[in-house]
Amino acid sequence: MDSKLNYAIASLKTIVSLRQMFKRIACNLSFEYHCRKLREIGNKPFISFVVPTRNETGYLPKLLKSINYIALVCKVPIETVVVDYRSEDGTPDIARKMGAEVVEVDKPVYEFVKLKQP
């Protein structure tokens, strides 16, 4: 009985894994489609990425690499602005080294959003 249960569990895990793989493939195909559409535009758009941060040295490098990859693959000019709120772990330095413009603020980013809302 245990072997049948283990087999059923393994089968379900395989199906879930395959489903996730197909979702990733669909996402990549969609990504390529959108890149192709961006390349077809006569006047290349300038895409701005604004990234709010606070002590994000663990995640920021991967995010910035992903943003730069999008620009490279889609062949569109970008700017990346990191809005940093009092990081103590070197986040602004990493952002600058990776080519991002850094704006250091003394209020959390959500405070600025609150000020803009009616």
In the chain, the amino acid numbered 59 is: Y
> Quick one: pLDDT at residue 93?
95
Q: Dump pLDDT digits (tens) for 50-87.
A: 898 888 899 899 999 988 888 887 777 888 999 999 89
Please tell me the distance from the alpha carbon of residue 79 to that of residue 32, in angstroms, as a whole number. Answer: 21
Q: Would you say residue 92 has pLDDT above 90?
A: yes
**Distance (Å) of CA 14 to CA 17, 25, 61:** 5, 16, 32
Q: Is the pTM of this model over 0.75?
A: no
Assign 118 a pLDDT band (cuts: 50, 70, 90). low
Mean pLDDT taken over the chain: 78
